[in-house]
Structure 1
């Protein structure tokens, strides 16, 4: 399933504005279920969770920072 540039751009914005804060809340709640580990273990867990959440969305974020490949060359925006 190939998503268009505008669709990927909107989806990435939705993921960053809604999905990421929700994931942060879930990660904090999940870690708080256990007894608090040392700061280094806790940091390692949060870094690992920070990487894991982005892996399924790699295809959405790829190329979003680039110019729209479907846009006309004359520089006008739609």
Structure 2
């Protein structure tokens, strides 16, 4: 995939995919609150950090080298 196509895909992922993923992550934490009660703040932070890393792993190749010149 050339740099121009990766830039387009990365923009699409960041503008559409990331907000959708944030909604899913917050919904998951809210579901955890309803199912098991409020978790300690450290557990919630760990869930958010894990989900924050997890979303980027499949798109690693798309984002690699985006900031470099063509």
Q: CA RMSD in A?
A: 0.6
SS of the residue corresponding to residue 68 of structure 2 reads: coil
Deviation above 6 Å: which 4+ runs of structure 1? Answer: none
Deviation per CA, 1:43-65: give whole Å up to 9, x if none. 01000000000000000000000
Gaps of 5+ in 2: none
1:26-45 to structure 2, matched below 5 A, reads: 26-35=24-33, 36-45=38-47
Deviation per CA, 1:4-47: give whole Å up to 9, x if none. 11000000011011100000000100111122211110001000
- Over alpha carbons, which structure has the higher Rg? 1
More helix by share: 2
> TM-score, with normalisation over the residues of structure 1?
0.82
> TM-score, with normalisation over the residues of structure 2?
0.91
Gaps of 5+ in 1: 69-78
